[in-house]
Structure 1
Amino acid sequence: MTTQIGFKQLAHRLILAAGLLLGVGAAPTAALASEPVRVQLGAGTCDSALLAEGGTADALLADCTCPPKGCVRTQGYWGNKPDVVWPKGYYRDAPFFRSGLSWQQVLDSPTRGDAYFILAHQYIAAVLNIASGASAPNSLRSIVLAAGTWFGSATPGTCVRGACQLQRSWASVLDEYNNGDYPGAPKHCDED
């Protein structure tokens, strides 16, 4: 990792931490009633990872001594291949929060600098990766939950012209995960 890349990743994580400390993403379960809920009980043992609803138990093996499980795919894989079957409970034509668009329409939408779509593309890929059995560290799952909460009140067009730096930081971290570069998370799938 070069110094520039390391500094950029550190800066993104500091912005993320500041946003989470300021309460962005608080009480995520109310806004995510339609999203699978993933819970990890116990302290650091692989056997303590439990699944409340949706996904697989392997997706919950995170922040413990277990190696990462599964593999991850990018937004392009999930959005650009109509023959790919999405995990159970996720549908291309389902409404994406308050956007007025379906999950597939969001993936098909160009970002044009709008942090809403930049984050949405990475969020969708991360959610589908986790639901497909890829493990995700707690730090990453907290970003997914915070983003889901934010999408519960945001709409496209609210984050143009450089606005929403926290959401841009979340997108950057989710992009690392979806490309297999997030520390402690699975690598990218070989066949893609």
Structure 2
Amino acid sequence: MSFGAFFTPVARRAALLFELLLGLAGFPGMAAAQAQGEVAMAKSAVLADACAQLVVQAEADQAGCGCPPTGCVRTQGYWSNKPGVIWPSGFDRNAPFFSSGLSWQQVMDRPTRGDAYLFLAHQYVAAVLNRAAGASAPSGVQSVVNGATTWFNSGATLGECMAGGCPLQRAWAGVLDAYINGIYPGAPKHCDET
């Protein structure tokens, strides 16, 4: 029996995350559910959603504690489309974006069309550029950036995350979207455009 069976719905999400982190999801009793593709995919989506919600909640709980956020954030549209925007030092629009076969700018210009790789890439590029431009990031955001960097470096490719696939990467994109729009708890607000 999973730990989640003993908790309220809110606590169950935390228990599911801990099951994932501790590897308890693979113990006897869970094998049958994991063997069924749809059940396993649904469980992954729930875990990814629970993980994202827990990260946001933890940041909200800590938002009043510690150092105030510094800088401000801008959306992917600013970094991709606004004329005359110069990217922070060390970042080149024409540099290869991991193993995608596209440049950073080409990734930003490409429509997502349901591909979680591109959903995440768009938010990732904006988050990384905001950080390089001096915006602070709560630990939950930085953890997502680090996880996404590792995933992109692992050889992930365009088109492998279609039709609802890659729920963790979709959850990461949601966290980074909240960050670059200035609504993530404890993060800098959106920049005032002049």
TM-score, length of structure 1 as denominator length = 0.68
Count of matched residue pairs: 141
Aligned to 1:28: none
The 3 A distance-change label for structure 1 pair 87 and 79 is same
Matches for 1:21-100 after TM superposition, within 5 Å = 21=21, 65-100=66-101
Aligned to 1:144: 145
Letter in 1 for 2:66: T
The 3 A distance-change label for structure 1 pair 129 and 160 is same
Distance in 2 between the 1:104 and 1:120 partners?
A: 11
Aligned to 2:130: 129
* Secondary structure of residue in 1 paired with 2:159: coil
Moved over 2 A (4+): 17-23
Aligned to 2:102: 101
User: Which segment drifts farther, 78-87 or 116-125?
Assistant: 78-87
In structure 2, list runs of 5 or more residues that go unmatched: 1-9, 24-62
The 3 A distance-change label for structure 1 pair 91 and 141 is same
* Secondary structure of residue in 1 paired with 2:128: helix
Q: Report how far residue 21 of structure 1 moved.
A: 3.0
Q: Report how far residue 146 of structure 1 moved.
A: 0.3
Give the conservation status (yes or no) of the 8 Å contact 1:19–1:166. no
Give the conservation status (yes or no) of the 8 Å contact 1:63–1:137. no
Q: Report how far residue 83 of structure 1 moved.
A: 1.2
The 3 A distance-change label for structure 1 pair 102 and 176 is same
Distance in 2 between the 1:82 and 1:109 partners?
A: 18
Distance in 2 between the 1:20 and 1:150 partners?
A: 18
TM-score, length of structure 2 as denominator length = 0.67
What CA deviation, in whole Å up to 9, does each residue of 1:117-167 have, x standing for no partner? 000000000000000000001111010010011011201010001100000
Letter in 2 for 1:113: G
Tell me which structure has the larger Cα radius of gyration: 2
Q: Report how far residue 22 of structure 1 moved.
A: 7.1
